Amino acid sequence: MKSIVGDTLSVEARNLVPALIDAVVSNWSELNYATRQALEDAYPVFSSWDYRFDRASVGAGPFAFWISRFYALVPKEERSFDPRSTGVTFTEREKDAATQALIETADWLSQLGYAWTTPWELFHRLRRGTIQTGSAGGLVFVAGSEATLEDVAWRGPYVRPDAQRIAAWRALVEPRAGLKVGLVWAGNPANWGDRKRSLSLGVLAPLARVPGATFHSLQVGPAAAEAAGKKSAKGNSHPG
């Protein structure tokens, strides 16, 4: 990681950030709504960043974490590019890894309570050891420790399913042969963009004719009522 002393231009960032932006743009249509919301502020930050690691730099902190995750996903011997060269382009696998690393960066920022626009000076404190993770993934402040950016990232589960629900789903799904497909067809009707992402269950009715497949409703909220009590001869169901 670059020193905070002086204005330091990162050639690596200058060469890789355009390829990162291209990767996320290429994969944007594949991302769900929540992920898009988490990443939407990354583009203006990275596209306007001057690739310097000075005290007020915006973009340096997220980049430092992103590149550590990206390189972990794509080891040096498997990379198709030289980060010291201009005009870097990623393979499809590298684009997927770059996008995944950025998603992990968004999660990490959320854990810290930081934003994409948090200046580098605050991230640099992690290097000096003022922050590290607790055993349960929570953040604790420890003066003089040697915590790094990697230490702060929580690797444990964020969500633990209820044991009774696991048993209920297992009893519903396991006895059925063939392909098992979960369906969600509507979002929160109160969301301003809901009309762009929701439809009625009836639109998906032709799926019931797919041979060898069983469909299970994973829908929650008001739209779940469309599937309640519906069960075809093929065993398509809603757990209630």
State the CATH number of the domain containing residue 118: 1.10.1400.10
Task: Identify whether residues 43 and 90 lie together within a single domain.
Answer: yes
Closest CA to 24 of 40, 12, 48, 11: 40
Residue that finishes a domain, picked among 125, 154, 187? 125
User: Using CA atoms, how far apart are residues 98 and 103, in angstroms rounded to an integer?
Assistant: 9
Please indicate, yes or no, whether residues 27 and 119 belong to a single structural domain of this protein.
yes
Residues 29 and 104 in one domain: yes
pLDDT reported for residue 158: 63
Instruction: Say yes or no to pLDDT of 237 above 90.
Output: no
Say whether both 109 and 190 belong to one domain: no
Q: Is 22 in the same domain as 99?
A: yes
Q: Are 39 and 24 in contact (CB under 8 A)?
A: yes
Between 195 and 64, the higher pLDDT residue: 64
User: Kindly report the CA angle at 137 between 131 and 142, in degrees rounded to 5?
Assistant: 25
- The contacts of residue 232 (CB under 8 Å, 6+ apart) are 208
Torsion of CA 74, 77, 78, 83, to 10 degrees: 70
Range list of H helices, the chain: 11-27, 33-39, 42-48, 60-73, 92-112, 120-127, 149-152, 163-173
Query: Which of these three, 125, 154, 188, is where a domain ends?
Result: 125
C-alpha closest to that of 1 among 124, 89, 111: 124
Q: What is the pLDDT, as a whole number, of residue 97?
A: 93
168 and 86 part of one domain? no
Last residue of a domain, one of 125, 140, 155: 125
**One domain, residues 115 and 198:** no
Strand, coil or helix: 139? strand
Residue 66 or residue 141, greater confidence: 66
Same-domain status, 119 and 173: no
Same domain, 99 and 176: no
Question: For 160-185, what is each residue's pLDDT tens digit?
Answer: 778 888 898 888 888 888 898 989 99
- 202 is a domain residue: yes
Query: Alpha-carbon distance 162 to 107, whole Å?
Result: 23
Give the pLDDT score at 238. 54
The answer to the question of residue 142 being in a domain is: no
206 lies in some domain: yes
**pLDDT band with cut points at 50, 70 and 90 for residue 96:** very high
| Range name among 17-26, 82-91, 133-142 with the lowest pLDDT average | 133-142
Same domain (yes/no): 171, 120: no
pLDDT confidence bin for 9, thresholds 50/70/90:
confident
Q: Look at residue 156 in the predicted model and tell me its pLDDT.
A: 61
Verify that 51 and 106 share a domain, yes or no.
yes
If asked whether residues 82 and 181 sit together in one domain, one would say no
In a domain? residue 15: yes
88 has pLDDT over 90: yes
| Total domains in the fold of the chain | 2
Look at residue 135 and tell me if it is in a domain.
Answer: no
DSSP-derived 3-state class of residue 167:
helix
For the chain, percent of residues with pLDDT exceeding 90: 32
- Domain that includes residue 112, residue range: 11-125
- How many CB atoms are closer than 10 A to CB 149? 20
Residue 56 belongs to some domain of the structure: yes
Over 70: is that where the pLDDT of 150 sits? no
Q: How far is CA 169 from CA 55, 90, 238, in A?
A: 51, 40, 10
Flag whether 231 is in a domain: no
Quick check: is 234 in a domain?
Answer: no
Range of 134-148, 153-167, 178-192 with top mean pLDDT: 178-192
Predicted local confidence at residue 6, as pLDDT: 44
